[in-house]
């Protein structure tokens, strides 16, 4: 198993490198990522390349048995590039060109920038394709280029639209430019949507276009790397749900394996749902296990310091990712940088370079991972539940939230967290993914719903699946025009309901009591949004307890074909509501967890041809004793399990199930 | 009575138009507003006009007996106009020219824009002046053009100032440019006030200038319409207090009748004081009844959805406006648009175009209105109370709030709401309006107070009127210099007080207890601001209960001539304070409501030569039983009244008083 | 003693001047400040000077025995200057040039502006060097020029860096441009840091450069004044901690005496710690007594009015400053201006120009001050405690706060206020000041710590001093690179601790309980930040009560040489914590107050060769009776003290100690 750190030899004196390499080896490390911010060191002036220092560093590391992933260094343009090609810097929606001095600041339609990026990639690939220590490449870094509003971006945007729509008539129709008399008569009239209140169809396409620009940029590097380094794998370090500039599924298509950067340590310690959910998304990008390319090794922060990981938490965070399918673990960063904007972003070592608590915890974690590695091989998660994540819907909501602070990732988490608490693993899929193999599909706020996707969801239920969908689903066509059918549109028969009216609940204290039924007991609180559901054939599971909504439903269930469709028209304030709902959904699908976890405990199952590894992770700051399947081997301790097991604070167990 | 909807035939397929027209007729509709955002459809390229589609739509509607108001379509410039005349787009105070893609985005000094606006108006007027279905015109839409900071606006601003002040010496004096050494020596030195901290006199004049630009723009259309369409009336859809770009009284001068757009459904249901107050302002613009040109027909919102009107609320909102003098009712909009920025702004029909609950409620409301119409004819409100609204004061506060979040409309509402609760109707007048006929004048925060207005108010009291004025009144001259007399200046004798000192109470919890007297019992809380009133001859009604203000007053009353002057030097936190104050003021004027309403019930009286119609409107979500004058006819039910009446939730009664 | 007001004769009719001068004389005034915003009146067009009006005003005042301080009028450029030299206006970091119309809006590298500023200074100095009424000069006004991002500023910034670092290699090293591959290869590549996330070393140097520009600007005036007016003193009106654009110690170097503008009246009345702390800073600028050049005479505010000083508070504020070393008192302003942006900034007289309460209070205060004056002569404060204020650390935190809302002045106040409550006077010194004579040094958040300063602090302790320092001290080198030694670096031996780990506590409710020990009893709350202190040889005084920090300390004490070093690694929520800590520190230093004050009472001691004056000031709104040294003379009343003394609300006593 690859275990290591993000390393910046160029930050430290040459005579420190051996010390670092020896300390890494001692920690059980066998891989580093190098050079992803080193363009100016590798090409100190235009066209002159210098690889000696990097060769040297790779050699020093190699002597300790450490392999190397190289980053294409295009996330930060050299100062000389900005000076010689000022148009390479992006223009903000204020009209001001970005002043050089940060990172990720380039315009993606600037020809010079694209050519120079391709050339440095080619030079590196040419130099390192035979280096035995180099095993793979990371493209750029956390790709999420700024939206640029310069003239060439506007020109390419017009070209992109011309290619997409063919004629202005089609575009006018697709964007509904009859509204406010916004018809275009020449392509040249189309502006970049600088304002959040510009036409929402244009705003959605603008996001698609910008995502496409990022992907094209990566593709130009991938073409070079594939041709020159056929033996190396290509990856990219995603931010999971942390950025919206790029459609992650599209960006992943060019890669061999996905990786991500996991930083779950912020405010008070809490159960790490978000890190789990991010991992499940990244695993779904290539439908296989993934790398952690940057793993939390200390407190972060650019301006303000975050809290420090608590004793045991570094291992907890790492094991959680492995439990969700990580097959490699690279901590960020080896040593805390003494200069620049990330002086507060702490690595395994502090500024002083001395191995301390965090080094010891990483070392212990590496030991555990190496111990597990042989059994982890060829295992992954095989969930029966999938949650649909739709980038288009997320983008569309960015300019039309529907209700206050609405964001698709938060919508997903309402259900995701309940599955987590129930001990059920899930995939995060895109709408176009096949649904075969899943027993439950959850589609939260599938705002942009093309007819084909709607039909697919109906087919899934008809064939015996359980679908749970909710508010705002099916409102928009693919070009962000409101559908003209009564909601939920093509899902109507399947869900057995109609929704003629709905509303945002925007007042700070505007809520409705939410009353369950015998089939779904309890009293809850409806917040933020309410569909006024007419339950036609559907069973009503919960209602709004308000005089004017007595005949409407808030939560319904409907048998359709061999399956069941659930619809939730509001947002409940209480996690217990979602626990009850997910329990009902699981019952409908006759699904059960391998083990029902106590609160604060996470359960995942990695399976391979011949084995099942049950990960049990304690996210609490106190020890927990729980029942486990007796008579199995707990791999970290090597001990046989009795009927119960005690997990330390932040502790973990990996039980090989018979 | 004209009842109808805002209709956008250009948004829907031609084969839907007949359906829409028939549904309108079935709902009792007889008027639509058309075309106010259709410039590009009417003039698809510069100088080429196309009226066929609009003729067609008018014919379809006409066949169902529906008349038409046409909007001059100048609130949205066509894309071709922005492309060919880029300077027609306004420049923001950041220096950035607005990017085309919204509405109301033009520079009002741009000659091309003005000429093209006049030409499309002329073309429409020429085409439709004889169309028997067309009855009137709406100028532009919700006129509130952006402040533009371009070079031509600066040049016109300098010209406007030259015309206003004649000489730089006069301007320097009027603006007090001795402060900070800001003397101007050439007109060319005068900048547009881009910063909120620029000279306050300049900031006030800048707002006057921008209002004048808007009015000039409308006037150029009115000249054309008057000359070509002598049989048509001209109106404009105001936003009541909802915008500050334009002085509404000035803008109304060119019109035959005022109209407004009423959207009172936002957060939790509440008593619709604001909608009532807005109506009273709009009625005062032309001193006569008005139109509702856009009436709430559903939930709104550009980004976030507001709540849905509750059952009965659509009728409640409409009847309230009629009770305040609306003589026509046009709902916005016929059908919810599926495209563009207002996809969430719901009309009578939803996106699906099917008549539903909201259609049924509008239909029922239209039926009621048609029933009332014959009796409503030639009736209006004849209040004995007027509240003074001064646009100059509102503008002056925009850069010198005096206390946190101060706004004139909110100041008005402190008193307005208490009159509403007391069952007393009021006019909202401008300072220059005649005061004859009123028994009570309330002048809240009349910050900018020319001597002539002060004298008029004193004359009013001397002749027997009751005046209530308050903090910050009389501080500024007409050019926003502080008066050099001791406050309240020319009102001193009339009010019987002097105010040498005053203060803002800015701390979040900074307040004074406010202690009443025998003549005004109770204990309240003084917030935000305190005049340290020296009660000379005036009677003290309330004091600050603070060690250092024992000899000062907070609320005073003074007999002057045949009348009485009240002065309130602070803001009370409690609505009950204002109820008590308004009760005292009413007593002073010997004024009583026709009927004292229970909480949540609104009372208005429309009077004509031979009849009095008492409107009783329930703004609560529960039924209310109240005493009413017995033995009259309730017009909506046709029943004779007993001693008490029960109003449903959101219910209304219209009693024809004997 | 000089007592007077800031006066603007140019704001008022000529025929009012005599009245003003007579009223001033009657109030006991003998000085005014004039002309600091009068450039355009003195030079109405470029190169034409007019001094007649100012001569006239000085004569009118002189006839009443009033002396004059003249301000160089360069804080507001005339409109003609902006018109003729548009580049004299600064460019904001948005790229937009400031629009003329405020003050302090110039670019400090603009040659024309510098030359014109020097010329008006020269013209005034030439005209007034012999005027017997003129006694001194104030340079400009509240110097805190905007950061300008224009091209010439960029060019000078590059020059300044070249002069500072000599070579790009040195600069690259000093700024750590290896981070993110930000190496510079030509000086021309260096941008002005427009973004708060630019390289922190560059951001710190940028602030040093801008401070230097301001100081150079003042210096160019000082050179002229020194050469032409050798008999006049030169001062400047500082804002104490109120601005960060300029290093106040550096700016003061060119001056004869420091002055400051004191405005402590904002929200609810509270103990005026800030005004005391500001005075102590300003006294330290020249290591001697200072002037108050603008003293609160009424409520202020540009947009919103602040509260009015309460009866007695004007005197309280003035006496507090004298107690801290003020030797002259100039109130701002004589009469409230009726025009411009400061219409709400109230002077001694109101807009009406009539002497009222505030005039009477200033008059009474002047009488008291004249009474005290002979005894005040040659006395000052001689504290044994110094708090270190480091402008570099303040600047460095501006782009790297470390924890939420961190600011050095607030850090200082945590300790300053506790000394205030203990009745102990302090100096506020800069790190380079000598430490001799002090028994206690407090160094809060000395973030930027060059080795020489660290050594000096260690030497101080070794020689017997008591040092208290705290979190974030010693993190950065002089160029804002993180030190590579383990914290607290060179202070380690002296403090007897090491700090390998630390964290920000950013969650809104993220705190640790803080448990004292026998030597430091009590339970408190740790907030915002926590050093995980390893107490090596140091005594632990307080710990974090959290499972993972049991072996770490929060507050330590360590004997080192003949002295003691205290280290506090967190921020306590409770003022009582700091009271206990300061008590411990005072005990360590064997320091006691002359008199232990009851709550709300401030004690200061002015000492001269032959006398000690004990100032006792009541900051409460109720009378306080307290023990005092009996048998001395209380100078304000002239009475002999008994064993106790009663101070009125806001009252004061000045006891001449035997």
- The answer to whether A607 and A593 have CB atoms below 8 angstroms apart is no
The 10s digit of each residue's pLDDT in A379-388 is 999 999 999 9
Q: Confirm or reject contact between C187 and chain A (CB < 8 A).
A: no
C36, C43, C156, C294: the catalytic one is C294
Determine phi and psi for A521, rounding to 5 degrees.
Answer: -70, 155
**Contacts with B, C 571-630, CB within 8 Å:** 621
Report chain C residues whose CB lies below 8 A from the CB of B191. Answer: 99-101
Number of helices and strands in chain C (H, E): 17, 26
CA of B193, closest CA in chain C: separation in Å? 7
pLDDT of residue A521: 98
Q: Report residue C658's pLDDT band, with 50, 70 and 90 as the boundaries.
A: confident
Within 13 Å and on the Cβ side, how many CA atoms surround B364? 17
Nearest CB neighbour to A307, from listed C192, C481, C510: C510
Q: Do B196 and C303 touch (CB under 8 A)?
A: yes
Q: Report residue C70's pLDDT band, with 50, 70 and 90 as the boundaries.
A: very high
- The answer to whether A238 and A207 have CB atoms below 8 angstroms apart is no
The 10s digit of each residue's pLDDT in C481-503 is 999 999 999 999 999 999 999 99
Q: Report residue A648's pLDDT band, with 50, 70 and 90 as the boundaries.
A: very high
Q: Report residue A610's pLDDT band, with 50, 70 and 90 as the boundaries.
A: confident
**Nearest-by-CA chain B residue for A174:** B339
Tell me the two tokens of residue A294.
């940057």
CA of C121, closest CA in chain B: separation in Å? 16
Residue from C89, C269, C339, C649 to probe the interface with B (highest B Cβ count within 10 Å): C339
Q: Confirm or reject contact between B243 and chain C (CB < 8 A).
A: no
Q: DSSP per residue over A278-320, as a string?
A: HHHHHHHHTTS-EEEEEEE-S---SSB--PPPPTTHHHHHHHH
Examine the pLDDT at C509 and tell me if it is beyond 80.
no
Q: Report residue C506's pLDDT band, with 50, 70 and 90 as the boundaries.
A: confident
**Contacts with A, B 9-38, CB within 8 Å:** 10-11, 37-38
Nearest CB neighbour to B189, from listed C80, C301, C351: C80
pLDDT of residue A308: 97
Q: How many residues does chain A have?
A: 658
A36, A43, A156, A294: the catalytic one is A294
Average pLDDT for residues A173-179, to the nearest whole number? Answer: 98
Q: Do C189 and A79 touch (CB under 8 A)?
A: yes
Nearest CB neighbour to B500, from listed C267, C311, C356: C356
**Contacts with B, C 279-338, CB within 8 Å:** 299, 301-308, 310-311, 336-338
Nearest CB neighbour to C181, from listed A40, A307, A649: A40
Q: Confirm or reject contact between A551 and chain B (CB < 8 A).
A: no
Protein fold of A2-147+212-376 = TIM Barrel (3.20.20)
Distance from C-alpha of A183 to C-alpha of B339, rounded to nearest angstrom: 12
Examine the pLDDT at B267 and tell me if it is beyond 90.
no
Determine phi and psi for B603, rounding to 5 degrees.
Answer: -120, 125
Report chain C residues whose CB lies below 8 A from the CB of B199. Answer: 101, 339-341
Distance from C-alpha of B442 to C-alpha of C40, rounded to nearest angstrom: 44
Number of helices and strands in chain B (H, E): 17, 25
CATH number of the structural domain B2-147+213-376: 3.20.20.80
Q: Confirm or reject contact between B69 and chain A (CB < 8 A).
A: no
Within 13 Å and on the Cβ side, how many CA atoms surround C290? 34
**Nearest-by-CA chain C residue for B482:** C338
Q: Report residue A509's pLDDT band, with 50, 70 and 90 as the boundaries.
A: confident
Report chain C residues whose CB lies below 8 A from the CB of B507. Answer: 266-268, 307
The 10s digit of each residue's pLDDT in B616-630 is 999 999 999 999 999
Shortest CA distance to C222 belongs to which of C249, C191, C253? C253
Protein fold of C601-657 = Immunoglobulin-like (2.60.40)
Distance from C-alpha of A362 to C-alpha of A376, rounded to nearest angstrom: 19
Examine the pLDDT at B658 and tell me if it is beyond 90.
no
Distance from C-alpha of B189 to C-alpha of B323, rounded to nearest angstrom: 52
Average pLDDT for residues B460-480, to the nearest whole number? Answer: 98
CA of B73, closest CA in chain A: separation in Å? 9
Nearest CB neighbour to B195, from listed C102, C304, C353: C102
| C2-149+212-376 against C385-589: fold identical | no
Which positions of B are annotated as active-site residues? 142, 294
Q: Do A181 and B39 touch (CB under 8 A)?
A: yes
How many percent of chain A have pLDDT more than 90? 98
pLDDT of residue B610: 87
pLDDT of residue C609: 87
Q: Report residue B300's pLDDT band, with 50, 70 and 90 as the boundaries.
A: very high
In Å, what is the CA distance from C429 to each residue of C136, C435, C457? 26, 9, 13
Report chain C residues whose CB lies below 8 A from the CB of A310. Answer: 548
Distance from C-alpha of B424 to C-alpha of B370, rounded to nearest angstrom: 27
Q: Do B76 and A181 touch (CB under 8 A)?
A: yes
Residue from B11, B75, B341 to probe the interface with A (highest A Cβ count within 10 Å): B341
**Contacts with A, C 458-497, CB within 8 Å:** 481-486
A36, A142, A313, A634: the catalytic one is A142
Average pLDDT for residues C211-233, to the nearest whole number? Answer: 98
**Contacts with B, C 408-467, CB within 8 Å:** none
Distance from C-alpha of C177 to C-alpha of A339, rounded to nearest angstrom: 7
Examine the pLDDT at A468 and tell me if it is beyond 80.
yes
Q: Confirm or reject contact between B354 and chain A (CB < 8 A).
A: yes
The 10s digit of each residue's pLDDT in B217-253 is 999 999 999 999 999 999 999 999 999 999 999 999 9
Average pLDDT for residues A374-399, to the nearest whole number? Answer: 97
pLDDT of residue A475: 98
Which residues does B119 contact at the CB level (< 8 Å), separation at least 6?
B47
Could you identify the residue written with the tokens 């200033």? C362
- The answer to whether C604 and C323 have CB atoms below 8 angstroms apart is yes
CA of C149, closest CA in chain A: separation in Å? 11
Examine the pLDDT at A97 and tell me if it is beyond 90.
yes
How many percent of chain A have pLDDT more than 70? 100
Considering the domain delimited by C385-589, tell me its CATH architecture: 3-Layer(aba) Sandwich (3.40)
Tell me the two tokens of residue B2.
């004209």
Examine the pLDDT at C255 and tell me if it is beyond 80.
yes
pLDDT of residue A116: 98
Report chain C residues whose CB lies below 8 A from the CB of A347. Answer: none
Q: Do B76 and A180 touch (CB under 8 A)?
A: yes
Residue from A305, A307, A312, A313 to probe the interface with C (highest C Cβ count within 10 Å): A305
Local structure of B387: helix, strand or coil: strand
pLDDT of residue B339: 97
Which residues does B500 contact at the CB level (< 8 Å), separation at least 6?
B486, B487, B532, B534, C350, C352, C354, C356, C357
Examine the pLDDT at C429 and tell me if it is beyond 80.
yes
CATH number of the structural domain C2-149+212-376: 3.20.20.80
Distance from C-alpha of B41 to C-alpha of B80, rounded to nearest angstrom: 12
The 10s digit of each residue's pLDDT in A261-285 is 999 998 788 999 999 999 999 999 9
Average pLDDT for residues A347-358, to the nearest whole number? Answer: 98
- The answer to whether B346 and B7 have CB atoms below 8 angstroms apart is no
Examine the pLDDT at B34 and tell me if it is beyond 80.
yes
Shortest CA distance to B452 belongs to which of B478, B487, B472? B478
Examine the pLDDT at A61 and tell me if it is beyond 80.
yes
Tell me the two tokens of residue A153.
């971006």
SS3 content of chain C, % helix, strand, coil (to 5): 35, 25, 40
CB pairs under 8 A between A and C: 167
pLDDT of residue B509: 76
- Identify the bridge partners of residue C497 per DSSP, sorted by sequence position: C535
Which residues does C342 contact at the CB level (< 8 Å), separation at least 6?
B179, C302
**Contacts with A, B 146-165, CB within 8 Å:** none
Distance from C-alpha of C401 to C-alpha of C414, rounded to nearest angstrom: 17
Q: DSSP per residue over B436-488, as a string?
A: TT-SEEEETT--B--HHHHHHHHHHHHTT-EEEEETTTT-B-TTSPBPSSPBT
Examine the pLDDT at C610 and tell me if it is beyond 90.
no
Distance from C-alpha of B145 to C-alpha of B90, rounded to nearest angstrom: 9
- Identify the bridge partners of residue C647 per DSSP, sorted by sequence position: C624
Name the average pLDDT for chain B.
97
Nearest CB neighbour to B400, from listed C8, C337, C344: C344
Q: Report residue A609's pLDDT band, with 50, 70 and 90 as the boundaries.
A: confident
**Contacts with A, C 526-545, CB within 8 Å:** 529, 532
pLDDT of residue A642: 96
The 10s digit of each residue's pLDDT in B397-406 is 999 999 999 9
Report chain B residues whose CB lies below 8 A from the CB of C343. Answer: 200, 400, 481-482
pLDDT of residue C132: 97
Query: What is the domain partition of chain C in residue ranges?
Result: 2-149+212-376, 385-589, 601-657
Residue from C341, C342, C354 to probe the interface with B (highest B Cβ count within 10 Å): C341
Better-predicted residue by pLDDT, A145 or B142: B142
Whole-model pTM? 0.97
pLDDT of residue B506: 79
Q: Is C142 a catalytic residue?
A: yes
The 10s digit of each residue's pLDDT in C351-395 is 999 999 999 999 999 999 999 999 999 999 999 999 999 999 999
Q: The complex's ipTM?
A: 0.96
The 10s digit of each residue's pLDDT in A404-453 is 999 999 999 999 999 999 999 999 999 999 999 999 999 999 999 999 99
Average pLDDT for residues A506-534, to the nearest whole number? Answer: 94
Q: What is the dihedral of CA C400, C406, C412, C416, to 10 degrees?
A: -170
Report chain B residues whose CB lies below 8 A from the CB of C353. Answer: 484
Rg, Å, chain A Cα set: 26
């Amino acid at each position: 198993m690859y275990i290591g750190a993000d390393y910046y030899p160029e930050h430290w004196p040459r005579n420190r490198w051996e010390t670092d390499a020896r300390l890494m080896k001692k920690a059980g490390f066998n891989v580093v990522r190098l050079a992803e911010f080193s363009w100016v060191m590798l090409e100190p002036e235009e066209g002159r390349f210098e690889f000696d220092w990097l060769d040297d560093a790779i050699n020093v590391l190699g002597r300790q048995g450490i392999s190397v992933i190289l980053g294409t260094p295009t996330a930060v343009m050299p100062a000389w590039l900005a000076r010689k090609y000022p148009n390479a810097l992006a223009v903000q929606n204020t009209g001001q060109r970005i002043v050089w001095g940060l990172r990720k600041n380039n315009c993606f339609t600037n020809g010079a920038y694209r050519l120079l990026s391709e050339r440095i990639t080619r030079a590196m690939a040419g130099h390192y394709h035979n280096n035995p220590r180099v095993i793979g490449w990371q493209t750029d870094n956390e790709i999420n280029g700024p939206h640029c509003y310069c003239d060439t971006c506007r020109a390419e945007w017009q070209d992109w639209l011309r290619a997409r729509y063919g004629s202005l008539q089609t575009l006018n129709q697709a964007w509904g430019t009859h509204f406010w008399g916004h018809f275009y008569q020449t392509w040249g009239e189309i502006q970049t949507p600088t304002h959040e209140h510009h036409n929402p169809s244009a705003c959605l396409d603008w996001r698609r276009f910008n995502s496409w620009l990022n992907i094209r940029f990566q593709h130009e590097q991938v073409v070079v790397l594939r041709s020159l380094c056929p033996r190396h794998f290509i990856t990219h370090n995603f931010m999971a749900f942390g950025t919206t500039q790029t459609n992650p599924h599209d960006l992943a298509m060019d890669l061999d394996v996905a990786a991500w950067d996991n930083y779950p340590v912020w405010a008070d310690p809490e159960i790490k749902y978000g890190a789990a959910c991010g991992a499940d998304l990244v695993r779904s990008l290539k439908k296989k296990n993934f790398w952690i390319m940057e793993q939390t090794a200390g407190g972060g922060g650019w301006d303000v310091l975050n809290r420090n990981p608590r004793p045991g938490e570094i291992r907890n965070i790492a094991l959680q990712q492995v439990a969700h399918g990580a097959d490699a673990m690279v901590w960020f960063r080896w040593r805390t940088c003494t200069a620049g904007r990330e002086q507060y972003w702490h690595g395994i070592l502090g500024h002083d370079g001395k191995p301390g608590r965090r080094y010891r915890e990483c070392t212990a974690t590496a030991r555990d991972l190496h111990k597990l590695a042989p059994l982890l091989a060829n295992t992954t998660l095989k969930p029966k539940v999938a949650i649909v994540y739709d980038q288009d819907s997320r983008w569309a909501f960015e300019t039309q939230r529907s209700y206050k602070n609405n964001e698709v990732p938060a919508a997903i988490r309402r259900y995701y967290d309940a599955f987590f608490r129930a001990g059920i693993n899930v995939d995060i899929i895109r709408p176009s993914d096949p649904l075969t193999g899943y027993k439950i599909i959850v589609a939260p706020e599938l705002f942009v719903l093309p007819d084909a996707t709607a039909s697919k969801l109906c087919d899934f239920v008809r064939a015996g699946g359980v679908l749970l969908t909710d508010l705002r689903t099916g409102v928009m066509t693919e070009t962000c025009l409101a559908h003209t059918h009564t909601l939920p549109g093509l899902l109507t028969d399947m869900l057995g309901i109609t929704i003629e009216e709905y509303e945002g609940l925007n007042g700070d204290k505007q809520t409705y009591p939410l009353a369950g039924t015998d089939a779904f007991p309890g009293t809850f609180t409806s917040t933020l949004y309410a569909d006024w559901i007419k339950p036609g054939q559907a069973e009503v599971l919960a209602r709004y307890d308000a005089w004017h909504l007595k005949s409407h439903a808030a939560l319904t269930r409907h048998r359709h074909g061999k399956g069941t469709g659930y619809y939730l028209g509001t947002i409940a304030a209480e996690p217990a509501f979602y626990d009850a709902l997910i329990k009902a959904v699981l019952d409908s699908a006759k699904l059960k967890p391998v083990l029902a976890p106590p609160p604060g405990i996470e359960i995942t199952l990695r399976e391979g041809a011949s084995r099942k590894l049950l990960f049990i992770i304690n996210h609490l700051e106190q020890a927990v004793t729980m029942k486990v399947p007796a008579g199995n081997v707990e791999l970290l301790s090597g001990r046989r399990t009795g009927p119960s097991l005690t997990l330390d604070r932040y502790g973990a167990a990996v039980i090989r199930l018979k």
